[in-house]
Amino acid sequence: MSKPILKVNHLNKDFQVKSKNKLFSKPSSIRVLNNVSFELFEGETLSIVGESGCGKTTLGRCIVRGMDATSGQVIYHPEGEEQVDFLGLRGKEFKKYRKDIQMIFQDPFSSLSPRMSVYDIISEPLLANFKLTKSELDDKVTLIAEKTGLNVSYLKRYPHAFSGGQRQRIAIARSLISEPRLIVCDEAVSALDVSIKAQIINLLKDLQEQLQITYIFISHDLSIVQNISDRVAVMHLGKIVELALVDSLFDHPKHPYTEALLSAVPEPDPNNKKDRIILEGEVPNPANPPSGCHFHPRCMYKTDKCIQQEPELQAIDEYHFAACHYANKLNLRGVTHES
């Protein structure tokens, strides 16, 4: 493994929510990120997977400071400098490092004015932080447009004129213009057609190779995750329940929740039928999490201990961690490979 670029320590995020029925009730707090800790290594792709609502977007947003975490730390290692407490940075210091960590979303332009041209969209992040002449700016935008496969003649147009794949290229160009070291991609290819999806994934991989970018890749599409990741973290109700190298996680999952998620991945050979594990019962509500192991109401391996005690994320080997009391004992099923 290369050197760490980021260290997330005991990150928690609570949201205050008002009960819909009780007009005068005090807002109650729900814990959406629960003691999330992991290291991220330079140049790797770490994917975050888990059902809708498990906290993936919240985690990404707290890391890039699009949202304030309730507690915990994100330690960032700038190149050739001392590490910094990223969430604690203020003023000039924050301005200096915030450009290093960017985020791309599924719907990249929802927060931007439709009157911005592609040129404006790509160049905007530079205007606030760098004093560049018009020709320096033009050069940078042209270079990034070329790197991301955008025709330079597109730059004067408006994003609504483009297809989903082109729009995602524009979003990638915008995120790259300030030369970040880390990009959080939140379902960035989820809405695209299969062939366009593959093109954008290839672009992200090429850029990673050329520019040594590190990715946190948030996705619910496990086939893409298997293809793009070095490591994978599985989240359940705001907690990381399994973290491992991609092959180790897909071949030998150690958490029953991961086993169930993997059982939904299509087989490479359609003749090779497997049983999908249907998770019975509802996705638990973060406002009222189950006792003990939060997965126990849907776990086919649960015992009394699971109902009473919450399992900690424990090391199975150097790179494989799982939060299950029986992680070392269960013989769980991974995905099968084409022979």
Ligand X SMILES: Nc1ncnc2c1ncn2[C@@H]1O[C@H](COP(=O)(O)OP(=O)(O)O)[C@@H](O)[C@H]1O
The one segment of 47-55, 107-115, 240-248, 328-336 that binds ligand X by CB under 6 A: 47-55
What's the sign of the alpha-carbon dihedral 127, 130, 134, 138?
Answer: negative
The three-state secondary structure class of 51 is coil
Is residue 70 within the footprint of ligand X (CB under 6 A)?
Answer: no
Pairing, β 101-104 against β 214-218: unpaired
With CB under 6 A as the contact rule, the residue among 7, 15, 226, 310 that binds ligand X is: 15
With CB under 5 A as the contact rule, the residue among 57, 214, 229, 263 that binds Mg ion is: 57
Closest-CA residue to 296 (of 314, 323, 328): 323
Residue 75's DSSP bridge partners are: 7, 85
Is residue 47 within the footprint of Mg ion (CB under 5 A)?
Answer: no
Residue 305 beta carbon to ligand SF4: minimum distance, rounded to whole angstroms: 7
Is residue 299 within the footprint of ligand SF4 (CB under 6 A)?
Answer: yes
Residue 131 beta carbon to ligand SF4: minimum distance, rounded to whole angstroms: 54
b or e along 271-303 (b: 16 or more beta carbons within 10 Å of the residue's beta carbon)?
A: eeeeeebebeeeebebeebbebbbbbbbbeebe
CB-CB contact of 323 with 294 (8 Å): no
Token pair of 330, please? 């269960």
Q: Which residues contact 137 (CB under 8 A, 6 or more apart)?
A: 123, 126
For ligand SF4, the closer of residues 98 and 302 by Cβ is 302
Is residue 311 within the footprint of ligand SF4 (CB under 6 A)?
Answer: yes
Closest-CA residue to 95 (of 131, 148, 57): 131
Residue 14 beta carbon to ligand SF4: minimum distance, rounded to whole angstroms: 23
The one segment of 19-27, 54-62, 107-115, 203-211 that binds ligand X by CB under 6 A: 54-62
Is residue 239 within the footprint of ligand X (CB under 6 A)?
Answer: no
Which entry of ligand SF4, ligand X, Mg ion, none binds 98, CB below 5 to 8 A by partner kind? none
For ligand X, the closer of residues 155 and 261 by Cβ is 261
What residues make contact with ligand X under the rule CB under 6 A?
Answer: 15, 17, 32, 52-58, 286
What residues make contact with ligand SF4 under the rule CB under 6 A?
Answer: 255-256, 293, 295-296, 299, 301-302, 306, 311, 324-326
